[in-house]
Structure 1
Amino acid sequence: MLGWKKNKENLDKKAAYRPLENETLHNIQNGNELSLLKHNQKCIVTRINDKIEETGFAAENLISLTQDIAKNAEIQKESIEKVVNEISNYSALAEEVFASTENSKRIAEQTMEIAREGSNAVDSSISAMNEIELSVQNAKKVVNDLSLKAAHINEMLAIIKDIANHTNLLSLNASIEAARAGEAGRGFAVVAQEVKNLAQRSAESAGHISNTINEINNSIDETIGAMNKSMDKVLEGSNIGKNTKEVFNNIINAVSTTSEVAEEINAAVSKQTESLENIISSTEEMNRTSEKVMGMVETASLNTQYTKTSLNILSNVSKDLQSISTKLLDKIETDEKAELVLTTFLSEAPLSYDPQLAIDTQSGQILYNVHGGLLLISSTGEITPGIAKSWYVEDDNLTWIFNLRKGAKFHNGREITAEDVKYTYERLLRPSLKSPNSWFLEQIEGAKEYNKGIAQEVKGIKILDRYRVSLKLTRPYTGFLLNLGQYVCSILAKEDVEKGNLTGCGPYILESTEKDRCVLTAFNNYFGGSPYVDKIIVRFEGPKSIESFIDNKCDFVTIDNKKQIEELSKVKNLDIKYKSIMGTYYAGFNLRSNSIFAKDNEIRKALNLAVNKKKIIDEILGGLGEEAKGPMPPNMVDNKYLSGFNYNQRSAKEILSRKGTLIGNSKLKILIREESNETIFYKITQSIINDLKEVGIECTLEKVSPDKYLNPESINRSDLFLSRWISDTGDMDNFLQPMFNPSNFTDFTGYNNPKVTEMMEKAKEIVNPDKRIQLYKELQQIIVDDSPWIFLYHPQLGHISREGVIGVRISPLGIVRYEDIIIEK
């Protein structure tokens, strides 16, 4: 709405919300149009001057960066020269290795020949041992036979001894008989005596022979023992010979392998030598390229300095233009400028006006326009200077230094200092605040310890002086600067926060809030330049937005559904502009519940197949969306590689039929907001219920108020809930971490896959964009396979504004920057 008034203090508050009357429009066109032009001219000149100054900051950063590149290029050149020298030395060493492997090869061949001769000698030795073993066994057999014969001789000697004893007895008897015979028996007595002597000598001889035989037996036993030992030694020698042969065989095999390896080494070294020559050639080329880079860096440095000089001149011209323009405008007499007021709509009321607690899109739309941080996100989604005019990272690639603008002010008029940055960031991380957004700063050293209450301050946040602050990270993180540009990291005035007032430093001041609207008033001391429009009235009655626009009660509005498009189609000559948004709508499963619908992966996939996403896009959104194959939007990561879950009731029924026993009579509990049945979420819910009914799934509804919808207590009452996520930064890590890292409050489903968490942490440090995207593609595929959601669609937004209102632009994050809107007439 275009609202005008002569005196702000005397304006009837209700009049600010009324459409302009025709008579007022006529007066504006005839009397105050020049006043409007003067106002716009003044704002534009001021903003041009501010933007030139910001460009100067960027040029200074570029000069500093170019100088660093020059230094690093020089270091790189020196390093390349060292590499060339080292490679040359290594090439010579490779040639020596080649020669050594040739000598090793010859020695190996000689060793193999000697080993073969040794193996043959061992064969001969084993053969001789076998013959010795046979001879010893034969000798042992002969000695055993001798032992047996000696035993027989002993037996015979025993008989001889017995005969001698009997003969001696007979001789005694003969002597007795001869004595009885007298003279007649004397001769017989002599014979008897001789027989006795002979018997005694025989007995003595037998005794001697027996002793000798015993000695022979003892010798035989010793001989057999020695032969047994010889046999053992022969067997031992034979075994040693066999083992020696195995050793020689192993030596032969090893030498053979060594020879083969030597040949492979020769081939490898030969190829390596060729490669080294190529590397030397490449490094020499790198050296030449490095010299060219040095020249280009020097040229870039000169050009950057020229740019800086030109910007300084342009800045002076801008200041002169501002001075002349001011004088010129002062010479033009016009009526007092009326207050410029525009009216717009949000689909629903913000959940919070505290930037550190808000998590919804509606809150973001307001807070991006009320607050500012060290860095800002532009209407194109890129980083721009904010409170920090410049920044750089130190050599450790961890410590970021931010230089604050002098004179940048809070809405209360106080200058912003480095102390405010430290206070605000520590407030965001404060355990007592329990911010769901604390993860935005968790990469800062000591942030986690402070957030857990085990540290008194955040170690990595240092105040260097009044206008400089350093933030040290625990490890390199490519998305860190984008995080600092979010409204979550907006800088707040400590003295007012402690009184319950969230004083910011953005282009607009939050003047008042009501149940159905809020009012934003321009902050004329905004460091980015005063906004063109004095006041923005934001109404929270989304269903009434198009009707209000058609009835001239609204000046610009965003469009996100079919009904709005159909209503606007009745009005001729309307130019609706469309923008794809980095966001996603989904139906999330409550993975913490015990419901079979949430616990079983196959059933979750079946429900994905059962929902007709195209129907939702066509019949509810009017085509303002693209079917989701996974969580990330295609303008962030190309999703052509994903197969997704195309609508297929037949496949869904087949899976559910297999799971029929598990499902039984279970009903799916869906969480729904207590709101108008004209809202998008309500319509999507009904469409999902109808599709699930078609495949045999009955649903029940759990109703809660919109402000409590995403509370854990509410989600835990259900099996399925509807939500959306609009990217904060456009960074892939920022998009996935909130929803799939279990340590984050915004992981509403309770999804917890350690592999996904580990991969997300790894991806933060990857600098190479191609490798980073590839890792996120793998991540997304794993999440799709786990199916924690029914993936619905990625949204598009349309917007339309009244004639004479320009500068309404939707960023890829779905945000409209009110400060850029201009009323032309």
Structure 2
Amino acid sequence: MKRWSALLLVCIVLTVMALAGCSSSGTDGAKKEEGSKILLYNNTREPTSLDPPIGFDMVSYDILNNAMEGLTRLGKDQSPEPAMAKEWKVSDDGKTYTFTLRDGIKWSNGDPVTASDFEFAWKRMLDPKTASPAASLAYVIEGSEAFNSDKGNADGVKVKAVDDKTFEVTLAKPAPWLLSMIANPPFFPVPKATVEKNDKWASEASTFLSNGPFKITEWNHDSDVKMVKNDQYWDAANVKLDGVTFKMINDSNTEYQLFQSGELHIQGVIPPEMSEQLFADGKVTVEDSAGTYFYRFNTTMPPFDNANIRKAFSMAVDRQKLVDLVVKQKQKIADGFVSYGLKDAAGDDFRSAGGELVTFDAAGAKSLLEKGMAEAGYSTLPQVTLTYNTNDLHQKIAETLQAMFKDNLGVDVKLSGIEGKVLTAEQKKLQLQFSRSSWLPDFADPINFLDIFESGSPNNRTGWSNKEYDKLINDAYSEPDETKRFQLLHDAEKILLDEAPIMPLYFYNSAYLQSDKLEGVVRHPYGYIDFKWADLK
């Protein structure tokens, strides 16, 4: 949206009014760009980074997953399947994985993809100089945590290119989720020779190398990323699209009109003011997803260095009203942090078994606020500023919370909208008092929701630290008995919500409009969108 003029925005508003009565299927307008099968998709904003260990968010992941590929790839049934690796063997103790790479796999410039590219990429992700926010995912690998925390070196990380086609990984402890986890971008290979010559290789289309279904040909920053089918990809015969264009439109109403006119094939965020009619007309497809929309408290900054004040703010939010009247995408409210869809050892849903850990109680919230203020010695609460990344929906949610805090706590909260990259950077530096966030898990296990709040985790971003919580997470990683492991995770989640360094709001789902000319899109509940098998009729 940064390149759109005010005049164009006025035209779009007029178009919204003119097309308000049109069909919402998008099928009349959906078209092939210049006679080719080019899928048009809204990525909402500029990716944080297309360097795999750095771009640790959905706007980066969605592009990376279609441009690159790891040892495994999540298939149509969400299970990991062979990708760059054609097969693997696991030792009897579950700690050593030996991957055999496919013959003839190449980068988009024709250079071979080798086991050395994987060894280099994984050690680079763990190098503290890289400062990868995803590095802790790899801590199950022997020697990885020591290297990442400056207590060891790269040679101690037990990943090894035995030869060009053989890659060996030794774990510190068994990790049943490993094959799913390494399908994620942080574990993608990077072209060793290219990266060593140019550490900015992933910042422009002209220097970016792909090894996945599509390759990047054009990157107009803050506008779009254009990809075409990668003829060097090992499975190119099964890629039906000629390309994908990822647009960057950070307004759901504008996105809706572009969908209507065929300039997008998917409407990924339903405009709240149109959702009731679109749902009633059966135009919207809703699929299970994973992840949590929440706010982070900075526990090092007054007044949120007091737990009762944090809990008061959380208890003052009527999440059901927020979901029903503002977001309007049929989401489930977040009464905990771990979302639905994860089975425990007994086959029960982890969230359901964990019970209601977050509630709405206006009177109780007021009492907790008074208690917290007395503990902190406040006669007047310090000014509170709520920061969100600029987007029409995020703004509406922030404004709704602002009103609830005023009505239920008598507190005036200031709002501040900033660009997404800036918000993330300032969160990491603990410069924001109270700020919007989200978590999308990297593999289907509750530990991937909860370990991000361990002390010192780069994904913590709250300043919160609790020794008992840290021990529970550490013990859960080492516990072989699944029943005991899940109990440790339930205990950890209770501490997290009782201490309240975060304020969960709702769990994500996937509600979208899609052209009837488009088929074969795979949406991973615990990941990203995949266009490898997509086609335009």
Using structure 1 for the length normalisation, give the TM-score. Answer: 0.56
Residue deviations 1:149-208 (CA, integer Å, cap 9, x gap): xxxxxxxxxxxxxxxxxxxxxxxxxxxxxxxxxxxxxxxxxxxxxxxxxxxxxxxxxxxx
CA contact (8 A) 1:381 1:811 kept: yes
- 1:422: how far off? 0.9
CA contact (8 A) 2:307 2:499 kept: yes
Equivalent of residue 520 in structure 1, options 219, 224, 227: 227
- Whichever residue aligns with residue 378 of structure 1, its letter is G
| CA distance in structure 2 between the partners assigned to 1:418 and 1:354 by the alignment | 19
Please state whether the residue corresponding to 1:644 is helix, strand or coil.
coil
Equivalent of residue 652 in structure 1, options 360, 365, 374: 365
Equivalent of residue 750 in structure 1, options 430, 442, 463: 463
| CA distance in structure 1 between the partners assigned to 2:318 and 2:326 by the alignment | 12
CA contact (8 A) 1:403 1:468 kept: yes
- Whichever residue aligns with residue 650 of structure 1, its letter is A
Unaligned runs of 5+ in 1: 1-24, 33-336
Larger Rg computed on CA atoms: 1
* 1:607 aligned partner: 313
**What does 1:52-451 align with in structure 2 at a 5 Å threshold?**
338-451=35-148
* 2:165 aligned partner: 467
- 1:380: how far off? 3.9
Q: Structure 1 residue 821 and structure 2 residue 531: aligned? A: no
CA contact (8 A) 1:479 1:734 kept: no
Q: How well do the aligned residues superpose, as a CA RMSD in angstroms? A: 2.6
**Given the superposition, is the C-alpha separation of residues 565 and 379 from structure 1 closer, same or farther in structure 2, using an over 3 Å criterion?**
farther
Please state whether the residue corresponding to 1:735 is helix, strand or coil.
helix
Please state whether the residue corresponding to 2:256 is helix, strand or coil.
helix
**What does 1:470-619 align with in structure 2 at a 5 Å threshold?**
470-497=168-195, 498-499=197-198, 500=201, 501-514=207-220, 515-530=222-237, 531-543=239-251, 544-559=254-269, 562-563=272-273, 565-566=275-276, 568=278, 575-593=283-301, 595-596=302-303, 598-619=304-325
- Whichever residue aligns with residue 629 of structure 1, its letter is D
CA contact (8 A) 2:208 2:216 kept: no
| CA distance in structure 2 between the partners assigned to 1:714 and 1:390 by the alignment | 38
* 1:704 aligned partner: 418
**Given the superposition, is the C-alpha separation of residues 615 and 433 from structure 1 closer, same or farther in structure 2, using an over 3 Å criterion?**
same
- 1:667: how far off? 3.3
- 1:713: how far off? 6.2
* 1:664 aligned partner: 379
CA contact (8 A) 2:120 2:192 kept: yes
Q: Structure 1 residue 716 and structure 2 residue 430: aligned? A: yes
* 2:22 aligned partner: none
Please state whether the residue corresponding to 2:400 is helix, strand or coil.
helix
| CA distance in structure 1 between the partners assigned to 2:386 and 2:147 by the alignment | 35
Unaligned runs of 5+ in 2: 1-26, 202-206, 343-349
Please state whether the residue corresponding to 1:457 is helix, strand or coil.
helix
CA contact (8 A) 1:671 1:715 kept: no
Residue deviations 1:646-690 (CA, integer Å, cap 9, x gap): 2211111222234444332223433424635xx221111111111
- 1:502: how far off? 4.0
CA contact (8 A) 1:462 1:469 kept: yes
* 2:441 aligned partner: 727
| CA distance in structure 1 between the partners assigned to 2:286 and 2:50 by the alignment | 28
* 1:43 aligned partner: none
* 1:124 aligned partner: none
**Given the superposition, is the C-alpha separation of residues 429 and 547 from structure 1 closer, same or farther in structure 2, using an over 3 Å criterion?**
same
* 1:143 aligned partner: none
Residue deviations 1:517-548 (CA, integer Å, cap 9, x gap): 11121113322334111111111104221111
| CA distance in structure 2 between the partners assigned to 1:641 and 1:398 by the alignment | 30
| CA distance in structure 1 between the partners assigned to 2:362 and 2:229 by the alignment | 54
| CA distance in structure 2 between the partners assigned to 1:709 and 1:496 by the alignment | 31
Please state whether the residue corresponding to 2:529 is helix, strand or coil.
coil
| CA distance in structure 1 between the partners assigned to 2:455 and 2:210 by the alignment | 31
CA contact (8 A) 1:667 1:699 kept: no
Higher relative contact order (CA 8 A, sep 6+): 2
Higher strand content, 1 or 2: 2
| CA distance in structure 2 between the partners assigned to 1:587 and 1:674 by the alignment | 12
Q: Structure 1 residue 684 and structure 2 residue 397: aligned? A: yes
Residue deviations 1:202-252 (CA, integer Å, cap 9, x gap): xxxxxxxxxxxxxxxxxxxxxxxxxxxxxxxxxxxxxxxxxxxxxxxxxxx
| CA distance in structure 1 between the partners assigned to 2:240 and 2:279 by the alignment | 30
Please state whether the residue corresponding to 2:120 is helix, strand or coil.
helix
Higher helix content, 1 or 2: 1
**Segment of structure 1 superposing worse, 553-562 or 530-539:** 553-562
| CA distance in structure 2 between the partners assigned to 1:674 and 1:821 by the alignment | 31
* 2:346 aligned partner: none
CA contact (8 A) 1:556 1:802 kept: yes
- 1:768: how far off? 4.1
- Whichever residue aligns with residue 732 of structure 1, its letter is P
Residue deviations 1:49-95 (CA, integer Å, cap 9, x gap): xxxxxxxxxxxxxxxxxxxxxxxxxxxxxxxxxxxxxxxxxxxxxxx
**Given the superposition, is the C-alpha separation of residues 549 and 456 from structure 1 closer, same or farther in structure 2, using an over 3 Å criterion?**
closer
* 1:249 aligned partner: none
- 1:569: how far off? 6.3
- Whichever residue aligns with residue 617 of structure 1, its letter is V
Please state whether the residue corresponding to 1:663 is helix, strand or coil.
coil
- Aligned-pair identity in percent equals 21
- Whichever residue aligns with residue 246 of structure 2, its letter is V
CA contact (8 A) 1:478 1:767 kept: no
- 1:787: how far off? 1.4
* 1:121 aligned partner: none
| CA distance in structure 2 between the partners assigned to 1:811 and 1:713 by the alignment | 27
Q: Structure 1 residue 810 and structure 2 residue 507: aligned? A: no
| CA distance in structure 1 between the partners assigned to 2:279 and 2:147 by the alignment | 55
CA contact (8 A) 2:95 2:170 kept: yes
- Whichever residue aligns with residue 354 of structure 1, its letter is D
- Whichever residue aligns with residue 265 of structure 2, its letter is D
**Given the superposition, is the C-alpha separation of residues 618 and 708 from structure 1 closer, same or farther in structure 2, using an over 3 Å criterion?**
same
**Given the superposition, is the C-alpha separation of residues 513 and 564 from structure 1 closer, same or farther in structure 2, using an over 3 Å criterion?**
farther
Using structure 2 for the length normalisation, give the TM-score. Answer: 0.84
Please state whether the residue corresponding to 1:403 is helix, strand or coil.
strand
**Given the superposition, is the C-alpha separation of residues 563 and 787 from structure 1 closer, same or farther in structure 2, using an over 3 Å criterion?**
same
